[in-house]
Structure 1
Amino acid sequence: MNVTHENAGDHLLVSVTGQINSANAAHVESQLLDILSNESGHWILNLTGVDYMSSAGLRVVLLLAKRLREQQKRMVVCGLQARVYEVFDISGFLNLLTVRDNPEQALLSLAG
């Protein structure tokens, strides 16, 4: 599991790779909240490299969305692989979050 971030214009592109499960969710959460406390702008959460996400991972995404909302920042999630997309769909997250196919579409969504 790896978390990286870079500026994408006025926004922040945060990419996660690997699996997000109960064994590492707390570590992922810590890394994401650390980025949140040190960076500004709206977020693109790129999950293209995530091939598995458990309910613990969903909790991390939901917590992040809540914290961003509290700071009047928006987040667009992108790059969901089929298995992760299914988890988002079954859990109702597709109705709670803005989800796009790729970072480019996510960036356009934030711009519009």
Structure 2
Amino acid sequence: MEINVETTKDGLVVLVEGRLDAVTAPAFEKNLAEWIEKGETVLQLNLGKLEYISSAGLRGILSTAKRLKAKNGRMLFFGLQEPVRDVFRISGFDSIFQVFETAEEALQKR
């Protein structure tokens, strides 16, 4: 997994590439927790290059969402590939979180 961050005028955009699984989820959580501790309250996650997400990855997302909720923040997701979109749909994450097709759509709801 690789995480790249872009700071835009609209906030922090996090590009997650590769696999988000039991091996990579702890680093994912740690990175996002650091940004939240620095004051970020809206995380826009670009999952367009995420090939796979496991239950450990989903737990990492939930853990991060709880941290954000404590600071009145939220997570927005966009660009999901079909396999990841399927996992979000099956797990019910698409009803818990805001999921958009594009960054522009996510920004409109920001």
Determine if the TM-score, normalized by the shorter chain, exceeds 0.5: yes
Does residue 35 of the first structure (1) align with residue 32 of the second (2)? no
Instruction: Quote the offset at 1:38 in angstroms.
Output: 2.1
Q: Note the residue ranges of structure 1 that are not aligned, 5 or more in a row.
A: none
Instruction: Give 2:93's aligned residue.
Output: 93
Q: Note the residue ranges of structure 2 that are not aligned, 5 or more in a row.
A: none
> Is the Cα contact below 8 Å between 1:44 and 1:75 reproduced in 2?
yes
Instruction: Quote the offset at 1:16 in angstroms.
Output: 0.8
Instruction: Give 1:106's aligned residue.
Output: 106
- SS of equivalent residue, structure 2 residue 51: strand
Instruction: Quote the offset at 1:54 in angstroms.
Output: 0.3
Q: Deviations over 1:8-64 (max 9, x none)?
A: 224211111110111111111111111222242422111111010000000111111
In structure 2, how many angstroms separate the alpha carbons of the residues matched to 1:15 and 1:49? 8
1:1-112 aligned at under 5 Å gives the runs 1-110=1-110
- SS of equivalent residue, structure 2 residue 87: helix
> Is the Cα contact below 8 Å between 2:13 and 2:44 reproduced in 1?
yes
Number of aligned residue pairs? 110
TM-score by length of 1: 0.90
- SS of equivalent residue, structure 1 residue 72: coil
TM-score by length of 2: 0.92
Q: Deviations over 1:61-95 (max 9, x none)?
A: 11111111111112211111000000000001011
